[in-house]
Amino acid sequence: MVINKPTGLLSQSTYGVDSLLFQLRAFLQERDRAERAPFVELPHRLDRGTSGILLVAKSKSALACFSEQFHSRKTRKSYLVAVERCPAEIHGTWIDWMRKIPDVARAELAAANANQSREAILEYDQLFADDQTSIHRIRLLTGRMHQIRLQFASRGMPVVGDRTYGSTLPWLPAIRHEHDEHFALHAHSLAFRHPKDGREVVIEAPLPDAWTQRFPNFTQ
């Protein structure tokens, strides 16, 4: 299955905390009138504030297949991101080294030889700009925690609405409590191999309404 996750929703969570995976299991169990919740697992995740494509495995063999594809970088992922300000160049490749900050839900740039430091590579193409923001298509060549958010923020261009990394501009919907996250990062397309016949599947997820409200002149 492929799900277009809304912003503000966890991909998965501990028992008793709402998440896309919890809602999906409950929905499928009710729909199929099953005694037990069905097997559904995520071979990858999106941050709470990120919207867009999530691939869902409905069997253990599919989960193993998808997990191997993500691990070996056989998938192709494309994101759309709106950030404060604009890069100096409209196209580019950024290579950094980053690591998770212990006991904190944040990442940081680090030296290449630092403990637990991992290489982070992305390519970007600017698609739109106004007086405050710019929109970019992102191709991730690695998949690090908060990679897009950190690589842009470290260059003075935080993702719109991403308070964790210094954004001062709001994003829709409005924040209701401190744990809410809504920011302008959307997993737009994903290409992967079907676990049964190996054919390539390419999926695109439409942008949420917040994008057209904030950027009425932007077209993909």
Active site annotation includes 180: no
* Residue 42 CB contacts under 8 Å (≥ 6 apart), including other chains: 11, 12, 21, 54, 55, 56, 57
- Look up residue 159 and give its two tokens: 């993702």
Q: CA-to-CA distance for 105 and 90, rounded, in angstroms?
A: 30
Note whether 53 and 75 are within 8 A (CB). no
Catalytic one of 47, 103, 125, 131: 47
Which residues of 18-90 form beta strands (DSSP E)? 51-55, 76-84
Distance of CA 11 to the CA centre of its chain: 10
119 bridge partner residues? 97
CB 87 within 8 A of CB 73: no
Between CA 206 and CA 178, with CA 56 as vertex, the angle to 5 degrees is 70
Beta-carbon contacts of 84 under 8 Å, excluding residues fewer than 6 positions away, are: 132, 133, 157, 158, 160, 167, 168, 169
Q: Which amino acid is at 207?
A: L
Q: Annotated active-site positions, please?
A: 47
